[in-house]
Each structure stands twice: as C-alpha cells, then as structure tokens.
Amino acid sequence: MKIICQVIGLLFLCQFGMAQVADDFSDGNFTANPVWEGNTADFIVNTNKELQLNAAVAGISKLYTQVAIGDSNVWEFYMKYDFSPSSSNGGRIYLQAAGTDLTNTQGYFLEVGETGSNDALSLYRQDGATKVFLKKATLGTMGGTSAVANVRVIRNAAAEWTLYADYTGGTNYTFEFSVSDATYLGVNGYFGIYCN
C-alpha cells in the first residue's frame, strides 16, 4: 500500500513590508519559484498540482525553502493524509526554523500524528532537539481514516499565535486556539515539511 501525504496550495505569507513566499505548485515543480531543498527525491508534484510524499521506503523525508520571517506573520496551507496519522506515521509543518536540520533547530511547527483517534493539530516550539508542546486544536479532527485540513496560523507582533482550521478542506475557517510564545521572533530561516 502506498501512503500519500500531500500539501496542496501551500501559501506562506510573511507580513512585514511587502515580502511574501507562496507556492501552489501550479508550475508542476518545487525546484523554482521558490526553490525547495532537502530529500527532493522523496517528493513529487502530482498531476493535480499537489506536493506529494512519494518515498520508495519508510523513513524521514523533509523539504524546506528559505524565507525571511518577521515578528508578524500569516501562514496558510492545505494538508491531506490518505491514511490515519499516528505517532510513527505523521508529519510536521515547520512554520519557522532557524536551520535546515528540522529535528535539531530553533523554531515552531504544527504536528499531526498521535496514538489513537484523538489526532489533532498541535503547535510546538523546538529548542534544538527538544520539542516543547504549546497548544492543541480540537481532539479527533485529524484522526479518521484520512485527515484533511486547510489551516491558517497568525502570529502578531505581541507573539500571540492563533490557529484557524477548516477540516473539510475549504476556507470556512473556525477558531481553534490562541497561545503566547515569544521565545523566537523574526528570523531569516526556513519553512519546512517533515514526514515520518
């Protein structure tokens, strides 16, 4: 059975000045506009113009792109798992990472994948190799036989993180949570995708 993890219409907005990074993969690749690096052989842009994990064997696969991240930001993306995520079969979206080693960096990420059916979007801070739990969205929203979410994360200048999601994949976002964390603010760093 082939396991598919897709990120469709990824959009990262850096809301300071006029800078922004966006990739909807409509150009059919992730090698330009912007350039994605990492385990590039493990990913494809499928015929639906979706970034898809296509690794030949199980393991860790990651992609990242360089971005300038301000203290105030909006991140938007659509994610789809064609399986029930678990603690050994899930993923992370690195909203902000100081380095390309996504398992040993400083920054913030959303994680999907736990044991059982209570899967939810969870926000973490990463301090080197240590992940620090910050807040969890509604339990069970990512726990079915497949998991879909259109996600919007906003961090304001006061370091308040707010997560909105639409679990039908649309843009009818509902509020999930707010939490404050000012450990890491703006950085010239990376936005990344980590699949396990």
Task: Read off the pLDDT of residues 95-128 as tens digits, 9 standing for 90 and up.
Answer: 999 999 999 999 999 988 776 677 888 999 999 9
Residue 144 contacts residue 138 (beta carbons within 8 Å): no
Question: Looking at the chain, how many residues does it have?
Answer: 196
pLDDT number for residue 84: 61
pLDDT at site 4: 42
Angstrom CA distances, 71 to 115, 159, 177, stand at 34, 7, 19
User: Is the pLDDT at 161 greater than 90, yes or no?
Assistant: yes
pLDDT at residue 85 in the model: 60
> Tens digits of per-residue pLDDT, 74-97?
999 888 877 666 566 678 999 999
**In 10 A of CB 45, how many CB atoms?**
18
pLDDT score, position 88: 61
Residue for token pair 């990242």: 64
On the question of pLDDT at 162 being above 60, the answer is yes
Q: What confidence category does residue 5 fall into, taking pLDDT thresholds of 50, 70 and 90?
A: very low
Average pLDDT, the chain: 83
Answer whether residue 25 shows pLDDT above 60.
yes
pLDDT above 90: residue 133: yes
Report the predicted TM-score, pTM, of the whole model to 2 decimal places. Answer: 0.86
Q: In the predicted model, what is the mean pLDDT of residues 139-165?
A: 87
pLDDT at 19: 42
What is the rounded CA–CA span in Å between residue 72 and residue 186? 8
Least confident segment among 121-125, 142-146, 165-169, 186-190: 142-146
Rounded (10°) CA dihedral 106, 107, 112, 113: 20
For residue 16, the model assigns a pLDDT of 35
- Please tell me which residue, 149 or 12, carries the higher pLDDT value: 149
